[in-house]
């Protein structure tokens, strides 16, 4: 009995941690902007179209599978102090990360996205998509985009209500 209590407590703690990891807050473009702005890595925020030739890649995934990586073309405009006005056209590596059986979803090819693109020191671009949609927003609303621009300009920087 004494041995089962610590084992039971460990199991409960593990399950609790996994459940917390899978409970997602409602994705918000401003929250993602703030996270990227505070990160040590460099990010470029792009409003554009993600074009790829990848089918349904998350089907049949299981716990412990490595992330899915593929190349895609991202074209549109990147965020500067004036807004999304500077052209962006780059090959990016999209990484679909998984937590347990939940994986980031693949946006349909040719769909408009708002992407937080990590740029390495070598000049490579990565979109690290998470199950809770923190770096890749499909078909962002005009309000989503305008709130990110305002935040970047140092104006009102509030999450959606």
Q: Is residue 10 part of a domain?
A: no
* Other Cβ atoms within 10 Å of 125 Cβ, number: 20
Say whether pTM exceeds 0.85: no
Q: Is residue 87 part of a domain?
A: yes
* Number of domains making up the chain: 1
Does residue 97 register a pLDDT over 90? Answer: no
With H, G, I as helix, E, B as strand and everything else as coil, classify residue 110. Answer: coil
Distance CA 2, CA 8 (A): 10
Does residue 16 register a pLDDT over 50? Answer: no
Query: What pLDDT score was predicted for residue 159?
Result: 85
Query: Domain of 137: which CATH number?
Result: 2.40.50
Distance CA 27, CA 48 (A): 19
**Residue 104 pLDDT class (50, 70, 90 cuts):** confident
| Domain coverage including residue 126 | 25-152
* Position with higher pLDDT, 61 vs 147: 147
Q: Is residue 104 part of a domain?
A: yes
Question: Among 1-5, 115-119, 155-159, which is the least confidently predicted range?
Answer: 1-5
Radius of gyration of the chain (CA): 18
Q: Is residue 1 part of a domain?
A: no
* Other Cβ atoms within 10 Å of 16 Cβ, number: 10
What is the arithmetic mean of pLDDT over 27-55?
93
Query: What pLDDT score was predicted for residue 59?
Result: 55
pLDDT tens track for 43-78: 999 999 999 987 756 555 666 777 888 999 999 999
Residue among 58, 47, 44 at smallest CA distance from 131: 58
Average pLDDT across the chain, whole number: 82
Query: What pLDDT score was predicted for residue 5?
Result: 37
With H, G, I as helix, E, B as strand and everything else as coil, classify residue 19. Answer: helix
Q: Is residue 127 part of a domain?
A: yes
Distance CA 92, CA 74 (A): 7
């Amino acid at each position: 009995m004494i041995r089962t209590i610590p084992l039971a407590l460990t199991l409960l703690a593990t399950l609790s941690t996994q459940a917390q990891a899978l409970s997602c807050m409602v994705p918000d473009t401003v929250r993602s902007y703030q996270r990227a702005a505070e990160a040590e890595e460099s990010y470029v925020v792009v409003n554009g179209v993600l074009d790829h030739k990848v089918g349904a890649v998350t089907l049949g995934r299981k716990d412990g599978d490595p992330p899915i990586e593929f190349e895609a073309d991202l074209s549109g405009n990147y965020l500067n102090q004036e807004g999304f006005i500077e052209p962006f056209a780059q090959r990016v590596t999209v990484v679909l990360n998984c937590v347990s059986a939940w994986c980031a979803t693949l946006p349909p090819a040719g769909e408009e996205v708002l992407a937080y693109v990590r740029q390495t020191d070598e000049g490579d671009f990565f979109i690290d998509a998470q199950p809770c949609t923190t770096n890749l927003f499909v078909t962002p609303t005009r309000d989503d985009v305008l709130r990110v621009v305002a935040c970047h300009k140092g104006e009102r920087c509030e999450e959606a209500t």
